[in-house]
Amino acid sequence: MSETHRDAVVDVRGLTKIYPDHSGGEGTRAVDDVDFDCCPGEIFGLLGLNGAGKTTTLRMLSTALTPTAGHASIAGFDVVQQSREVRENIGFLSGTTGLYHRLTAREMISYFGELHGLSGVALQRRVDTLVETFGIADYAGQRCEKLSTGMKQKVNIARTVIHDPPVLVLDEPTSGLDVLAASTTLDFVDEVRRSGKCVIFSTHIMSEAERLCDRIAIIHGGTVRAIGTLDELRERTGCHYLEDVFRSLARPDAPEVTAP
């Protein structure tokens, strides 16, 4: 088990999720003894194939799933024992996040701001800022059911960060976006990192991870195969491009080369 960074705002130790086998078997170990941490001002990438365990890990951090074993805390709050406080301190976006179809884009963002305790002028200023940042102004008055996939994703991201949380958990945040919208989203993620926030960032697009991530964890079969900076992972695998690094580690027979 690796040491926790002293100023880490996300701390994950031995996190495990086993889905029970109702036929009496051992069950499916979707996440197995995962360790990592993330500090303020850091983007921590979580990369893995479909079914590798990364989304299950992120859902446990968001309190949507209860761990079978292990410990995780966000901003000092335990994800099981203090789930409400955890939700107040994170913005969570996943590929399955939906919108209320009958609300307009602006109403949707405002609604989530109200859920997080914002109101009045402060709420409207925050909504206006996000509408401008993500280029939502042209369709802010349209109902969400009328929006394209890319438009919906931008509204989803805006409602995720409406309360300006210290920790963002982003699972495939550019999914469904065109090149310009994806670039705007990545610029925003980079900006929140510079403002001192902690970002857990999952993506299948290696160029996004290369551009943004300070450290990267590669997860396969529910276990973390490697953690380190891109340069550390290059040194350990002998590969230059992150895609090749990932291929060399996301194999059943790949040795664990977790950075100390």
- Boundaries of every domain in the chain: 98-164
Residue 192's nearest CA partner among 165, 172, 153 is 165
Residue 198's nearest CA partner among 67, 72, 38 is 38
Residues 168, 169, 174, 180: what is their CA dihedral angle, to the nearest 10 degrees? Answer: 10
pLDDT at 201: 96
Q: Are 166 and 195 in contact (CB under 8 A)?
A: no
Name the β-bridge partners of 44. 200, 215
pLDDT at 245: 95
Give the residue ranges of the chain where pLDDT is below 50.
Answer: 1, 258-260
Work out the number of other CB atoms within 10 angstroms of the CB of residue 20: 11
pLDDT at 256: 53
Tokens of 29: 């170990």
pLDDT at 125: 97
Q: Are strands 43-47 and 215-220 parallel, antiparallel or unpaired?
A: parallel
What digits encode the pLDDT tens for the residues 88-139? 999 999 866 789 999 999 999 999 999 999 999 999 999 999 999 999 999 9
Its pTM stands at 0.89
pLDDT at 2: 52
pLDDT at 260: 43
pLDDT at 184: 86
Q: What is the separation of C-alpha 2 from the centre of its chain, rounded to a whole number of angstroms? A: 21
Helix ranges (H only) for the chain are: 54-61, 83-88, 105-115, 120-133, 149-160, 179-194, 206-212, 230-237, 242-249
